[in-house]
């Protein structure tokens, strides 16, 4: 039931994509997983032994990257008369041993590379989540490792925003130059974050403990560093 549903979804997705991508770059691909001679089988057509049981696996590919397998298929060929049979046809004619075919089919495992597209998607999602998390934590990392000219974005009275810039770093305290301009909360910090706007003549100090508290309270709501190395 699940397998059928999953197959239908894959087929529907391929049809939908056919409007966007030419069929050349997506579709199904079949590869042989096993080929083994049946010791207890006789060809119903020519009466010869030596029938070969092939197990094929079908997978969906996109840009030739295998996404996931969707089905397995068995085919039994006679090398003498070149007739091809399905498992059901041979069993109906009592020309083969059901258990032998089942054993070959079970031993033909789907290789992991057939899932490489899915693995790639999961990897990319993981990397993207990791990158977002790193970006989200960046202000706190910068707070713990301050550098001269880091810009602290601060909330002011009446829903205003402004910046302060690190000028001197001491063991317990940091000295900042205040930006002489501010913006409304809907404004853009980059419009006021200009060198000439900082009052470097009158620095003020904030202890590192107080800075941590201000960050926790989100009064310092962002920290940026121009040189990102």
Tell whether residue 154 is a contact of Zn ion (CB under 5 A). no
- Residues 204/175, Cβ–Cβ less than 8 Å: yes
Tell whether residue 43 is a contact of Zn ion (CB under 5 A). yes
Tell whether residue 12 is a contact of Zn ion (CB under 5 A). no
Tell whether residue 96 is a contact of Zn ion (CB under 5 A). no
User: Least distance in Å: CB of 115 to Zn ion?
Assistant: 37
C-beta atoms surrounding 70 within 10 Å: 18
Tell whether residue 75 is a contact of Zn ion (CB under 5 A). no
- Token pair 């920290």 in the structure block, residue: 223
- 72, 80, 87, 212: which one binds Zn ion (CB under 5 A): 80
- 17, 34, 45, 167: which one binds Zn ion (CB under 5 A): 45
- Residues 166/176, Cβ–Cβ less than 8 Å: yes
Tell whether residue 93 is a contact of Zn ion (CB under 5 A). no
| Cα–Cα distance list, 214 to 14, 57, 175 (Å) | 53, 60, 15
User: Least distance in Å: CB of 49 to Zn ion?
Assistant: 9
The residue (of 58 and 83) whose beta carbon lies closer to Zn ion is 83
Structure tokens at 54: 């092939």
Whose CA is closest to 117, among 152, 49, 155, 68? 68
Which residues from 113-142 bind Zn ion, rule CB under 5 A?
Answer: none
- 9, 11, 25, 81: which one binds Zn ion (CB under 5 A): 81
Q: What is the Cβ-side half-sphere exposure of residue 90, based on CA atoms within 13 angstroms?
A: 28
Q: Which residues contact Zn ion (rule: CB under 5 A)?
A: 43, 45-46, 78, 80-81, 83
């Amino acid at each position: 039931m699940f397998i059928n549903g999953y197959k239908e979804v894959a087929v529907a997705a391929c049809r939908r994509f056919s409007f966007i991508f030419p069929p050349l770059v997506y579709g199904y691909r079949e590869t042989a997983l096993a080929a083994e001679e049946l010791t207890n089988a006789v060809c119903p057509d020519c009466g010869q032994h030596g029938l070969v049981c092939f197990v094929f696996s079908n997978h969906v590919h996109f840009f030739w990257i295998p996404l996931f397998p969707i089905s397995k298929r068995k085919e039994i060929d006679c090398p003498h008369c070149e007739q091809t049979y399905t498992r059901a046809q041979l069993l109906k004619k009592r020309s083969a041993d059901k258990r032998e075919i089942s054993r070959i089919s079970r031993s033909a495992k789907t290789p992991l590379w057939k899932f490489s597209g899915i693995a790639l998607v999961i990897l990319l999602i993981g990397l993207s989540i990791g990158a977002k998390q790193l970006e989200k934590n960046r202000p706190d990392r910068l707070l713990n490792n301050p550098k001269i000219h880091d810009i602290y974005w601060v909330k002011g009275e009446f829903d205003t925003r402004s910046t302060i810039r690190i000028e001197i770093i001491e063991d317990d305290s940091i000295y900042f130059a205040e930006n002489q301009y501010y913006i409304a909360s809907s404004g853009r910090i980059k419009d006021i974050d200009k060198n000439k706007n900082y009052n470097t003549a009158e620095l003020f100090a904030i202890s590192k403990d107080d800075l941590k508290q201000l960050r926790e309270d989100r009064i310092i709501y962002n920290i940026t560093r121009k040189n990102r190395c």
